[in-house]
Amino acid sequence: MSGLRYMKNVLLGKRNDHCFRMVLTGNPNLTLSEIGIPCPVAERLQIAEQLNKWNEERLKACCNLRILEKGEICIRREGTLVRIHHNEKIRLGDIIYRPLNNGDIVLINRPPSIHQHSFIALSVKVLPVSSSVSINPLICSPFRGDFDGDCLHGYVPQSINTRVELSELVSLNKQLINGQNGRNLLSLSHDSLSAAYLVNGDRVLLNLYEMQQLEMFCPNRSPSPPAIIKAPLLSNPVWTGKQLFSMLFPPELDYGFAPSDVVIRNGELITSSEGSSWFRDADGNLFESLIKNCRGKKVLDFLHGAQEVLCEWLSMRGMSVSLLDLYLTSDSNSRKNMIDEIFYGLQETELICNFKQLMVDSYCDFLAGNNEEIDGFVGFDFERMCYEKQISAPVNQASVDSFKQFFRDIQNLSYKYANKDNSLLTMFKAGSKGNLLKLVQHSMCPGLQRSLVPLSFRFPPKLSCSEWNDLKSQGLTQNGDDTVESAMNFIPYAVVESSFMTGLNPLECFVHSVTSRDSSFSDHADLPGTLSRRLMFFLRDLCASYDGTVRNAYGDQVVQFSYSSDKGTSTATSFANEIRSQGSILPDGTGGQPVGSLSACAISEAAYSALDQPISLIETSPLLNLKRVLECGSRRRNSDQIMTLFFSDKLGKGRHCFEYAALEIKNYLERLIFSDIVSTVLITYSPQKSTENCFNPWVCHFHVCKDTMKRRRLSVHSIIGSLQMHCANAKKLWKINLPDIQANLSLECISMGSCWDDRFCITVTIVEPSKKSHIELDVIQAIVLPSLLEAVVKGFPEIKKVQILWNDRFKVSKSHKTSPGELYLRVAVTGGFSKTNLWGMLMNDCLPIMDLIDWTRSHPDDINQFCLAYGIDSGSKFFLNNLKSAISDTGKTILNVHLHLVADCLSVTGEFVGLNSKGLRLRQEHAFVTSPFMQACFSNPSASFVKAAKKGVSDDLQGTIDALSWGRVPRIGTGAQFDILYSMKDERITEPVDVYKLLGNIDGSQKQDVEFEVPKACNFKSPIGHRLSGADWNSAMMALYFHPRRDEKVGSGAQEIKVGYHPEHKNSRCFLLARTDGTIVDFSYHKCIIGAL
């Protein structure tokens, strides 16, 4: 066993006899806060309870039953286990171990526990089953579980303190708000969501028998009158589905959802359009309104009641899936028309794809004849284009972009040809189940297939067995040893035109299997767990203190001066703030709150959700992007860096100015290596006769294409000068002992033959140090020639590559009025020049083209380079923007307070540190804290302990993981530390109070009287025209409520209250009420007081 594994299993892993692990099943008859425990399991799981007068009768009855069954029971008396054979020997104060009963609370989680709502305290419901635990399907989403074999872990609390913490902190009614994004945690799902979508249809009608059957599940609401009493085709009155749905709402509920035209007034559903987003997890959905207006228990009761009614209605209506739903169309003619549209769409997309390929630079070189012909391909044909798609990532990406639009059109065809009663589309529209991508693949066309990893073979242009045999035969006859394609990597690209319903041929099936094997489960499956573990080590010990700061348990170091909720959310800020004010579990900086762990859980859950998105060679992976942001770049001195350059707004005045500027900057900055323009290299023996210098007889010949030089804007003199400068710099900068050279344009190169029209030759002659010394041919071949080919003949040596890219998400300048995005440049700068400020070096290189670039938005992508250029404050904002973008790519939204805390934690030392052992050590050293145990738990235990022992370091075990490992109470949550501060005031003995006089002075309206004094003082002290706000506005409106002519004064509604003069008594002050219709009326504050009394 390795050292780290030993630490996890022995020291950090806590196992006991009061836990269980069982397979999960669903049971909609259970309430949302219940968990069904099998009776045999409940009998074996014991819970400790101290015997007292209140529970004496109940516990003695339980003990008597256990003694009759087993002959004895074990109790704990004064810390010692005692065996009892008779019930009379039990005393008050003994701790009795009884089996689980209905109503006991247990802690449930489904590993991996990746976010704070993975742990939920549920109430036990003992069921007569024997093999599995069961929960209500509506609470599967917090556990990220389903019923395909998932297992749940359960923990039985033994102490009263633990049971109280579970019921007050992690019970389901305390976790209705998702602490990650501030939205509702629970909503309708599965069958109940499909039923809710269907029952709100305009054509859903219910007769008297059905309404009476469903009313049994709605005991709190009386039935409404029928919507249609008499009609020509109806013999009995009927009710609508909206009326049935209204019976589920509280009578006082008022709700509106504009995107779906939903209006609910006094618990009655007035209008609603097609769609189910308003009772799912959209912003401003129904459950957010219920949480704001109802307590937690009422929300759970509503969900359970709605589930019972909707599932009962769905069972009465009926809903099933068959192969007819996969057929989509209602008849064979419609099916044939749909297949024809798909076929012609594939042909059109293939043509568009070929046209886009022509715009790629490498493909333009092929069309111009600049690339050498590959064996087996002559000229320009379809097979060659298919070959290029599988060897070139840019060409492959151009093809992918073409098929994205085609696939969107295919998805629209499914809505066009499918029946209205199609169950698969119904579930997809409702959001309960189904995946439109899978439906299209099964019923219509799988479309473009790509592999996420390079393969050693390629696919033929047409997916048929004959084409595959021809491709393999060509490969065998092309080269006997098969050395051409065997050493190449291919990006598999193919289009499957058949559907799963009609059947795939063997090659289509093989292609689909190859391309989808890695998308089903990523190679980076362990990455979210690694990120979660590292985030926990960095953030676990951050806790909100009672002075409002966020501190680290190690050394009490301040990480944030204020954990404020005013930083907003990445979703609906008003809802999160309103719920926070009602005392929800949303992080608000309350003393002792483990804000660090909550932030780590929020980001870890986003990382796990990104695991479902495949990692591709030609597309950015959200998971890897999040990992890159959290690791804060590379801290190696010689690592390459990426810089992003944006164009100046001045270029938007002309047509295509941004495109021309991009090409100009790329041509100016990007380095061009001598080997990129050389077609042939020769070494000839030609002794030189010269009296001034002694030349080596071996002469290097470099043949350069004239068209290439013209296209690259090069001249012979600039190339010769660059070669000579390269040799000089090699001696000074890189300490390479290169000999002196003499480069010239050769007009008499024999090896050129008849190629003088399109090529020319540059000769390089080596100057010998002396006539006695001689440089051998092997030295020229091994050192001189490779060094010359690496010479930079244009651009800057440090600029490795310049890419012209397009992105829709960047801020669009005012000049881009008709464009949804903008062009930008990604510059790769190599770090091998002993310079730390690479951004400053790039700015110096761009001095001649400074006006083309917007330097206010351009920046280095590496956070450390950004901080070096602009400072730590700007770097923190830049890190936050990158983190928000990475989280958004995963499809999740996170409260900004979590993101701010992560940024402050990683930059608390004054510079950003990565999520690794070095970053953890730097943070601990900055706080002047030594924690070898925590370092050993993070990585490399033996080395950490040995290093600490050599230095004689002591560990105070201040952190959370230290305390839990050694049996201490961690300093977070209910165990957080707080200080009692002395106010420095003299203590005085209070004077005696006559209790009868005190009771006689109690007045229930005292609080209102105090509040009424506020607007009175405001009336006399405030200037004329002063507008009331805040507490003054609230007090004035409360006083206005008691005015004898309140309704007349308020009218259409109160907009604002000002201080002014009475219209009749000019010198008399009064309050002026401005109504919403624009009228102004005065009201007497004195009359309000009289009305209140």
Sorted by sequence, the CB contacts under 8 Å of residue 763 that are 6+ apart come out as 699, 700, 701, 702, 743, 744, 745, 746, 749
* pLDDT number for residue 31: 92
**Higher local confidence (pLDDT), 216 or 486:** 216
- The region of weakest confidence among 52-66, 293-307, 1020-1034 is 1020-1034
Residue 535 pLDDT exceeds 80? yes
* Rounded Cα distance, 629 and 26, in Å: 39
**Higher local confidence (pLDDT), 143 or 224:** 143
User: For 120-135, what is the mean pLDDT?
Assistant: 92
1058 burial (CB, 10 Å; 0-12 / 13-18 / 19+) is middle
* Rounded Cα distance, 963 and 484, in Å: 62
User: For 511-536, what is the mean pLDDT?
Assistant: 76
Token pair listed for 445: 């066309």
Domain 672-794 top-level CATH class: alpha beta
Q: Which CATH number fits domain 1006-1092: 3.40.1830.10, 1.10.10.410, 3.30.460.10, 3.10.450.40?
A: 3.10.450.40
* Rounded Cα distance, 793 and 284, in Å: 61
User: For 1052-1074, what is the mean pLDDT?
Assistant: 80
Residue 377 pLDDT exceeds 50? no
Q: What is the DSSP code string of 306-341?
A: HHHHHHHHHHHH-----HHHHH-SSSHHHHHHHHHH
> What's the first-to-final CA gap in the chain, in angstroms?
80
Identify which of 191, 188, 190 has the alpha carbon closest to the alpha carbon of residue 317.
Answer: 191
CATH number of 190-319: 1.10.274.100
Token pair listed for 155: 């923990």
Residue 1048 pLDDT exceeds 50? yes
- The region of weakest confidence among 391-395, 469-473, 540-544, 702-706 is 391-395
* pLDDT number for residue 519: 55
Residue tagged 């900086």 (tokens): 589
Residue 1041 pLDDT exceeds 70? yes
Percent of the chain with pLDDT over 90: 9
CB 673 within 8 A of CB 792: yes
Residue 481 pLDDT exceeds 50? no
Question: Where are the domain boundaries for CATH 3.10.450.40 in the chain?
Answer: 1006-1092
* pLDDT number for residue 373: 44
Residue 1075 pLDDT exceeds 70? yes
Sorted by sequence, the CB contacts under 8 Å of residue 894 that are 6+ apart come out as 180, 181, 570, 602, 603, 606, 887
Residue 463 pLDDT exceeds 90? no
Residue 302 pLDDT exceeds 50? yes
* pLDDT number for residue 1010: 41
Residue tagged 């490399």 (tokens): 940
Sorted by sequence, the CB contacts under 8 Å of residue 294 that are 6+ apart come out as 250, 302
pLDDT tens for each residue of 224-264: 888 888 888 777 888 888 888 888 888 888 888 888 888 88
Question: Where are the domain boundaries for CATH 1.10.274.100 in the chain?
Answer: 190-319
Maximum C-alpha span of the chain: 129
3-state secondary structure 762-828: EEEEEECCCCCCCCCHHHHHHHHHHHHHCCEEECCCCEEEEEEEEECCCCCCCCCCCCCCEEEEEEE
Query: What's the pLDDT band for 378 if we cut at 50, 70, 90?
Result: very low
* Rounded Cα distance, 418 and 425, in Å: 8
User: For 615-623, what is the mean pLDDT?
Assistant: 63
Residue 734 pLDDT exceeds 50? yes
User: For 78-96, what is the mean pLDDT?
Assistant: 84
Residue 735 pLDDT exceeds 90? no
What single letter denotes the amino acid at residue 847? L
User: For 644-655, what is the mean pLDDT?
Assistant: 84
Pairing of strands 672-673, 678-685: unpaired
Instruction: Provide the 8-state DSSP code for 228.
Output: B
Identify which of 265, 206, 191, 194 has the alpha carbon closest to the alpha carbon of residue 237.
Answer: 206
**Higher local confidence (pLDDT), 709 or 370:** 709
Identify which of 797, 765, 776, 609 has the alpha carbon closest to the alpha carbon of residue 686.
Answer: 765
- The region of weakest confidence among 109-113, 225-229, 653-657, 696-700 is 653-657
- The verdict on pTM exceeding 0.85 is no
User: For 135-153, what is the mean pLDDT?
Assistant: 88
* pLDDT number for residue 983: 66
Question: Where are the domain boundaries for CATH 2.40.40.20 in the chain?
Answer: 13-174
CB 21 within 8 A of CB 155: no
Residue 387 pLDDT exceeds 90? no
User: For 14-26, what is the mean pLDDT?
Assistant: 86
Residue tagged 């959209």 (tokens): 282
Task: Calculate the average pLDDT of the chain.
Answer: 79
pLDDT tens for each residue of 485-521: 544 667 677 788 888 888 888 888 888 877 776 555 5
Domain 13-174 top-level CATH class: mainly beta
Residue tagged 């348990």 (tokens): 553
* Rounded Cα distance, 702 and 678, in Å: 6
Query: What's the pLDDT band for 35 if we cut at 50, 70, 90?
Result: very high
* pLDDT number for residue 41: 92
Query: What's the pLDDT band for 577 if we cut at 50, 70, 90?
Result: low
* pLDDT number for residue 59: 87
* Rounded Cα distance, 946 and 183, in Å: 48
Sorted by sequence, the CB contacts under 8 Å of residue 217 that are 6+ apart come out as 305, 308, 309, 312
* pLDDT number for residue 120: 93
Residue 687 pLDDT exceeds 80? no
Instruction: Provide the 8-state DSSP code for 168.
Output: I
* pLDDT number for residue 57: 87
How crowded is residue 184: how many other Cβ atoms within 10 Å of its Cβ?
A: 21
CB 187 within 8 A of CB 279: yes
- The region of weakest confidence among 9-13, 123-127, 519-523, 879-883 is 519-523
pLDDT tens for each residue of 601-611: 999 988 888 87
* Rounded Cα distance, 264 and 271, in Å: 7
